Chain A
Amino acid sequence: DIQMTQSPSSLSASVGDRVTITCQASQDIGNYLNWYQQKPGKAPKLLIYDVINLERGVPSRFSGSGLGTKFILTISGLQPEDFATYYCQQYDNLLTFGPGTKVEIK
């Protein structure tokens, strides 16, 4: 089974900050990696698929990078609506989520 880890587990940031979240896979998953955003009490929302592709309607301040076992989600210029929990998910072997990274207001 493929295990996913994320760091940090939480972070505090201010509006306008650049935020990076790292996701690591226990084995090479190529580019089979997606990112989700979840706000309290809401269903998750797909942000980025196949490492780099923004889902329709997702602002361009979100970007993804990586390949193999290490992946990064970057938010360039954090906005108030971006405070949420972010999850990575692999689909190289079935599907597995990372444990999540909570982005809080500093």
Chain B
Amino acid sequence: EVLLVESGGGLGQPGRSLRLSCAASGFSFDDYAMHWVRQAPGKGLEWVSGISWNSGKLGYADSVKGRFTISRDNAKKSLYLEMNSLKPEDTALYHCVRDLELDLRGLEYWGLGTLVTVSS
């Protein structure tokens, strides 16, 4: 069974940093691209960032480019999101998501998410 468990969310102050982690199990982690997708309260889905199986391709939404950094550790079967220069509009539930394949294509398996609240 594919399992994705996010952690690291919480209250962050504007301008400060948070680091999200995602622990993966139940599949061959290094055979798939991975993503972070967020959903602000009462709003739609927003793709935040994605990383290919070997970290050779990284992508970011314009809203987070230059502030967030995605990374992965295939040996630890883990995905990360370093969030810097936090803004109130970054407040959302952040999901770790496994892709359909090696490259950035589709969002097949979703974690339950970790809530990030940015407020002073």
Residues of A within 8 A of B (CB): 1, 32, 34, 36, 38, 43-46, 49, 55, 85, 87, 89, 91, 94-100
Q: How many residues of B contact A (CB 8 A)?
A: 22
In the complex, chain A residues whose CB is within 8 Å of the CB of B35: 95
Closest to A95 in B: B47
Question: Are A46 and B44 in contact, with the CB atoms below 8 A?
Answer: no
Given the known inter-chain contacts A91-B104, A91-B105, please indicate yes or no for A97 contacting B110, CB distance below 8 A. no
Question: Are B106 and A91 in contact, with the CB atoms below 8 A?
Answer: yes
Contacts beyond the supplied A46-B100, A97-B44: 20 A-B pairs with Cβ under 8 Å = A34-B107, A36-B45, A36-B107, A43-B110, A43-B112, A44-B37, A44-B107, A46-B107, A49-B105, A85-B44, A87-B45, A89-B45, A89-B47, A89-B107, A91-B105, A94-B50, A95-B35, A95-B47, A97-B46, A97-B47
Residue B113 is within 8 A (CB to CB) of chain A in the complex: yes
Provide 7 A-B residue pairs closer than 8 Å at the C-beta atoms, listed in order of the A residue.
A43-B112, A43-B113, A46-B108, A87-B45, A94-B47, A94-B61, A97-B46
Of B59, B95, B111, which one neighbours A95 at CB under 8 angstroms? B59
In the complex, chain B residues whose CB is within 8 Å of the CB of A46: 100, 106-108
Closest to A56 in B: B108
Residues of B within 8 A of A (CB): 35, 37, 44-47, 50, 59-62, 95, 100, 104-108, 110-113
